[in-house]
């Protein structure tokens, strides 16, 4: 006589449903891997930066171009390389408008230059300053202060080091919202929830099985991304791996709760997809996935800090890159905010949950 256990059966069913779908495996593991590799290559520490600029065609322009060419030949790594293009005025401005060049140099005479650029474009002021410095030095400007450049290309301070914890956190968010929310709505549309509700199945076991399965899928999620970061990009894990795991679990529970809340009453895929995007989009933008959330104005910082992804990413980075411990103020604050999200979303979700 077999021994039947609803929680175990439900949990195993969830696992099977997942690993028997290779397409889903790709989206969950393959896609973030490809994304990380792509971004890692795009933002890898280059041996030397390349600075682009357009020079407007004029009789005096060739003087400037020659000066820069001379610099390019005599420069040593990691000083930047300049790539200049001589273009007609119209062409040069069109290229700047369409984002192909950050800077247009207009040479009025041997000692008169106008720089055209959009100061809000991050690389434009830097290009202007670099070219100006080369031209001024070549024209005989003395540098009264001796300066030395210490360049940070060590693991821990690079963009990829910032990116990997971001991708881990965003995968946790996606997994929680889609893995829980989409699944439940799918069951509801297929009348499977109603069919379950017509059995004596303990309802607690059903929801618990979904959560346990989610936490199980978290293991390969984190191992794949973290492993790739550590092996390919030498991303350091400065802090305690146990604290990292704890933060991930609490984060996963918070997103599973939000996923369940979104799915608790939704009757169609359109509704649930819309709600998912409504929840995820602000977090992709504001929570510091691809760049630091501190770039946003102070006024909206309290809102940004309240987003679960902000807290998850911040805590992951603090532990991985800076070695923060469990009792660090930031970590406790992050765990606290994530716990509040978990408790509140589950409470509301279960109260309003529709089985039909």
Partner 1 sequence: MSDLAIRVRDLRKQYPGRDGVVNAVNGLDLDIPVGECFGLLGPNGAGKTTTVEILEGVNEPTSGEVEVLGRRWATDATAIRERIGVTLQETRFQDKSTVFELTELFRSFYHRGLEPMAALERVSLETKANAYVETLSGGQKQRLAVAIALVGDPELLFLDEPTTGLDPQSRRQLQDVILGLMAQNRTIVLTTHYMEEAEKLCNRVAIVDQGKVIALGSPADLIARIGGEHVVEFALLGEPPSADTAEFQQLDTVLGVRVDSTGYALTVGAPHLAIPALLEHLETTGRDLARLTTRQVSLEDVFVSLTGRHLRDDETGDAPIEIKGRGRRKARRGR
State the residues that interact with partner 1 by CB under 8 A: 2, 4-6, 8-10, 12-13, 16-17, 20-21, 189-192, 194-201, 355-356
As a whole number of Å, the end-to-end CA separation of the chain is 33
Nearer to partner 1, 128 or 188 (CB): 188
CB atoms near residue 115 (< 10 Å): 16
Nearer to partner 1, 160 or 183 (CB): 183
Half-sphere exposure of 26 (CA within 13 A, CB side): 3
- Locate all alpha helices (DSSP H) within 177-307, ordered by sequence: 183-189, 192-197, 203-233, 241-263, 269-286, 301-306
In whole angstroms, the minimum distance from the beta carbon of 24 to partner 1 comes to 10
Backbone angles phi, psi at 174, to 5 degrees: -60, -45
In whole angstroms, the minimum distance from the beta carbon of 15 to partner 1 comes to 11
C-alpha to C-alpha distance for 309 and 315, rounded to whole angstroms: 10
In whole angstroms, the minimum distance from the beta carbon of 6 to partner 1 comes to 5
C-alpha to C-alpha distance for 220 and 32, rounded to whole angstroms: 12
In whole angstroms, the minimum distance from the beta carbon of 195 to partner 1 comes to 5
Residue 102 token pair:
């950050």
Cα-Cα-Cα-Cα dihedral of 15, 21, 27, 32, to 10°?
60
Nearer to partner 1, 9 or 62 (CB): 9
Residue 258 token pair:
């939000």
In whole angstroms, the minimum distance from the beta carbon of 20 to partner 1 comes to 4
Nearer to partner 1, 22 or 99 (CB): 22
CA 89 to chain centre: 38
C-alpha to C-alpha distance for 196 and 83, rounded to whole angstroms: 66
In whole angstroms, the minimum distance from the beta carbon of 188 to partner 1 comes to 10
Nearer to partner 1, 6 or 220 (CB): 6
Q: Which residues of 320-356 are buried (b: 16+ CB within 10 A; e: fewer)?
A: bbeebeeebeebeebbebbeebbeebbeebeeebeee
Nearer to partner 1, 209 or 337 (CB): 209
Nearer to partner 1, 203 or 234 (CB): 203
In whole angstroms, the minimum distance from the beta carbon of 211 to partner 1 comes to 17
In whole angstroms, the minimum distance from the beta carbon of 272 to partner 1 comes to 16
Nearer to partner 1, 195 or 234 (CB): 195
């Amino acid at each position: 006589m077999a021994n039947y256990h609803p929680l175990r059966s439900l949990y195993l069913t969830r696992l099977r449903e997942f690993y028997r779908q290779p397409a889903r495996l790709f989206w969950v593991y393959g896609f973030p891997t490809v994304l990380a590799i792509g971004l890692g290559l795009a933002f890898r520490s280059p041996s030397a930066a390349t600075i682009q600029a357009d020079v407007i065609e004029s009789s005096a322009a060739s003087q400037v171009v020659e000066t820069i060419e001379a610099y390019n030949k005599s420069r040593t790594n990691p000083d930047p390389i300049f790539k200049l293009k001589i273009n007609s005025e119209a062409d040069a401005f069109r290229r700047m408008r369409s984002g192909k060049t950050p800077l247009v140099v207009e040479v009025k005479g041997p000692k008169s230059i106008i720089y055209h650029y959009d100061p809000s474009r991050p690389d434009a002021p830097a290009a202007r300053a670099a070219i100006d410095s080369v031209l001024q030095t070549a024209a005989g400007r003395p540098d009264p202060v001796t300066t030395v450049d210490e360049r940070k290309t060590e693991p821990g301070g690079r963009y990829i080091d910032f990116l990997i914890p971001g991708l881990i956190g965003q995968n946790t968010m996606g997994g929680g919202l889609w893995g829980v929310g989409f699944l439940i709505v799918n069951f509801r549309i297929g009348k499977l929830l109603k069919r379950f509700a017509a059995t004596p199945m303990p309802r607690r076991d059903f929801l618990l099985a979904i959560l346990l399965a989610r936490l199980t899928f978290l293991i390969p999620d984190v191992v794949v991304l973290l492993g790739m970061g550590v092996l390919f990009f030498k991303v350091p894990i400065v802090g305690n791996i146990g604290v990292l795991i704890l933060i991930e679990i609490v984060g996963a529970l918070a997103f599973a709760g939000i996923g369940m809340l979104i799915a608790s009453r939704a009757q169609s895929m359109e509704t649930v997809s819309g709600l998912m995007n409504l929840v995820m989009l602000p977090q992709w933008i504001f929570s510091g996935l691809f760049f630091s959330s501190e770039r946003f104005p102070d006024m909206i910082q309290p809102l940004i800090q309240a987003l679960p992804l902000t807290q998850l990413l911040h805590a992951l980075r603090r532990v991985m890159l800076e070695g923060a411990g469990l009792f660090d103020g930031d970590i406790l604050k992050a765990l606290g905010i994530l716990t509040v999200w978990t408790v509140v979303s589950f409470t509301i979700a279960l109260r309003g949950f529709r089985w039909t």
